[in-house]
Structure 1
Amino acid sequence: MKFNTKNYDYLIVGAGPFGMIFAHEAAKRGKRSLVVEKRPYIGGNTHTHTEHGITVHDFGAHIFHTDNKEVWDYIRKFAEFNGYQNQVVANYKGTLYNLPFNMNTFYQMWGTKTPDEAHAKIEEQKQIALKDLGDRQPRNLEEQAISLIGTDIYNKLIKGYTEKQWGRKATELPAFIIKRLPVRFIYDNNYFNHRYQGIPVGGYTQIFENMVAESNGLVDVLTDTDFFDYKETLLSEFPRVLYTGMIDQFFDYKFGELEYRSLRFEHEVIDSDNYQGNAVINYTDSETPY
């Protein structure tokens, strides 16, 4: 493949959100970009399409959330957003619990009705399970999770789900992973604390299509084009390259291979207008294979 590099200021590898927003912002400043993308579409892991009147997130649901009003106003120039809030339900062997961990979860688990009662239950379980922890910090995800919410919630809502997600024992995972999960001693099922939340009506792909359309012809996109098929040529011909792929692959793995968390999605069409009653349900026991 021949690349006419004389007309471009940037080569951008990857047509995901970072690459496409960079190209759009460069175009606003009069800079021309060539975007190469190995997939047959733009949008990266936020790619969406419409099927049977449903907006399908091909790589899992992405909820936009931020406290930054400038960011919120910026993204809404390219799509209308709904007011969706992520309120997850966990299914543990047929029993349902609210996520993230909050007073609703504690009541469902233990029947506690006040924050003091919930704190006491967690502290009781923590002291028994982590009696050898002493003053040291939790060393792995299991210790961190138990120190946050006790053994009952850990065993029912975290352990099996997390080990399925990561393909590792919880004791082999770093403690910081679980710190990002909110624990609230109020009755609030909203997963995120951010002021601005939602999902674009009609999906994410339109956002990046609109960015290209508004670039005044300064953004060209080549899909079905693998950067690594032309790596040496492209690096020699383009003085400025924005690379958004796997960094170990870029360096031909000469510094070693990084470990990546990944998922396999299986799609099924069900003849129902309301199959499970909630947008997201986590199956948290280890026996359920998803």
Structure 2
Amino acid sequence: MRICIIGAGLTGAVIARELSKTNKHEVIVYEERNVVGGQCYDIKKDNYYESQYGPHIFHTMYKDVWDYVNLFTTIKPYNHKVKTLYNKQLLDWPINTNTMKHFFGYDKTDNELINIINLEKKREEDDGKKIGNNFEDNALLMCGRTLYEALIKPYTKKMWDIEPNKLSSELCKRIPIKFDNNSSFFNDIYQGLPEKGYTNMIQNMLEGVKVEFNVQVNYGNVMYFMKSNDFIINTGNINNLFEDIELPYRKILFVEASKNAYGSTVLNVPEEKFSMIRYTDYANMYGAGISKGIYEIPQTSDYNTVPLYPYPFKEYEDKAMKMKKTLVKSKIYSIGRLGSYKYLNMDQSIGLALDFSKELIKSLI
């Protein structure tokens, strides 16, 4: 059985590894760039690694996924902390009781803060807001209007260039609200950074797998590749496999900063007067001092850079599902963040890739 995998990113590497280690299938990976890594691609800078498409911190609640990643790299402990810039002050992000006290009073106890938030949430309920309606309703019923208007709404509008009440309520799952002073970004049991970067980790996953670079598989030539393969597994942009259907992606312009002006490892910038939405100091992240860092500036879907974020619209998600079903009829499976048009974390991508591989292997026995 000969299987072609499009894309040498995280999802493609996991599937290629799992299928090839059975020694029953010939697996070949086609990568349109000249490097592996996909959106996790990073480069070595002195004694740290700089991600080329935004910060990636590996975190998961699942021990099997954690153990799997550790087969290919050593994960160094890292407790991710983020600040958000508000009126020239750095506040904890995600919102915790330290953040709340900035708005409601530093003399407030945790119980008093909870009561304030609950009162604001009750007003939104009385005003007809409902969980599941849209992103804005969910956010207002999660933290109340004060925090939403100050921090969440402006960041969301800047990130997506769309009114939050038009976005999927599912997006709210990425914004935890903490009623304690824990300033850690993630609550997951397992988290850290690969000591030698993500590119090295993915290279290790692909050890022994044939990878051909600078090969783009698209609508115009996919049937040619289908002739020499029993299956095609697409982990790249699903748009590439269609002639007249296209889903939009939010894109980001990455610009080197002149200096780390705030001393924060990662800084969210929700205020509209700034074009950037996030700043990351990768040297600081790896414990290698302070560097200039990278600014991220959101761009429209037609901007000439790589697609990064699927838009959180149910309409687009339903359209992507139909596109995937169409591809399956031609024995083409589309999976991963770009392949399934889902805003997935790394551990989710790995878990789905492992599950997909197991099911495919079982079906081919």
Q: Tell me the TM-score normalised to structure 2 length.
A: 0.70
Instruction: Specify the alignment match of 1:221 in structure 2.
Output: 211
Once the two structures are TM-superposed, the CA of residue 93 in structure 1 deviates from its matched residue by: 2.6
Q: How many residues align?
A: 273
Offset at 1:237? 1.7
Unaligned runs of 5+ in 2: 277-365
Identify which of 5, 15, 18 aligns with 1:25: 18
Aligned 8 A contact 1:15 1:44 in 2: yes
Q: Are the aligned partners of 2:10 and 2:202 in contact in 1 as well (CA < 8 Å)? A: yes
Aligned partner (choices 48, 52, 55) of residue 58 of structure 1: 52
Q: 1:257 is matched with which residue: 246, 253, 271?
A: 246
Q: Which runs of 5+ in 1 are unaligned?
A: 1-7
Cα distance between partner residues in 2 of 1:202 and 1:279: 19
Query: 1:250 Cα shift?
Result: 1.6
Q: How high is the TM-score relative to the length of structure 1?
A: 0.86
Partner deviation per Cα, 1:208-233 (whole Å, 9 max, x = no partner): 212233x3xxx111111111263221
CA RMSD of aligned residues (A): 2.1
Deviation at 1:278, TM superposition (A): 2.3
Query: Hey, what's the Cα distance between the residues in 1 that align with 2:132 and 2:233?
Result: 38
Q: Distance in 1 between matches of 2:173 and 2:49?
A: 31
Whether the 8 Å contact between 1:16 and 1:46 is mirrored in structure 2 is: yes
Counting only pairs closer than 5 Å after superposition, residues 203-222 of structure 1 correspond to structure 2 as: 203-213=197-207, 215=208, 219-222=209-212
CA contact (8 A) 2:72 2:201 kept: yes
Structure with more contact order per residue of length (Cα contacts < 8 Å, sep ≥ 6): 1
Provide the secondary structure at the position in 2 that maps to 1:261: strand
1:4 corresponds in structure 2 to none
Q: CA deviation at 1:275?
A: 5.1
> Which residue of structure 2 aligns with residue 239 of structure 1?
230
- Counterpart mapping for 1:52-201 below 5 A: 52-111=46-105, 113-128=108-123, 131-133=126-128, 136-137=130-131, 139-201=133-195
Q: Give distance in 1, aligned partners of 2:89 and 2:229.
A: 57
CA distance in 2, matches of 1:268, 1:288: 14
Distance 1:279 1:118 in 2: 28
- For residue 288 of structure 2, what is the aligned residue in structure 1? none
Distance in structure 2 (CA, Å) of the matches to 1:65 and 1:195 = 8
Aligned partners of 1:100 and 1:181 also within 8 Å? yes
Shift of 1:239: 1.0
Show the counterpart of 2:221.
Answer: 230
Letter in 2 for 1:243: N
2:131–2:141 CA contact under 8 A, matched in 1: no
| Residue identity matched to 2:116 | K
**Higher strand proportion:** 2
Identity %: 30
Q: C-alpha displacement at 1:289, in angstroms?
A: 0.6
Taking the aligned partners of 1:280 and 1:59, their CA distance within structure 2 comes to 14
1:81, 1:146 → 2: CA distance?
Answer: 37
- Looking at structure 1, the residues matched to 193 and 158 of structure 2 have their Cα atoms a distance apart, in angstroms, of 27
Q: Secondary structure at the match of 2:165?
A: helix
Q: Deviations over 1:171-221 (max 9, x none)?
A: 2222221133111212111122211001111210001212233x3xxx111
More displaced 10-residue stretch of structure 1: 88-97 or 49-58: 49-58
Higher deviation after alignment, 275-284 or 35-44? 275-284
Q: Which residue of structure 2 aligns with residue 277 of structure 1?
A: 263
Q: In the TM superposition, what is the alpha-carbon distance from 1:128 to its structure 2 partner?
A: 4.2
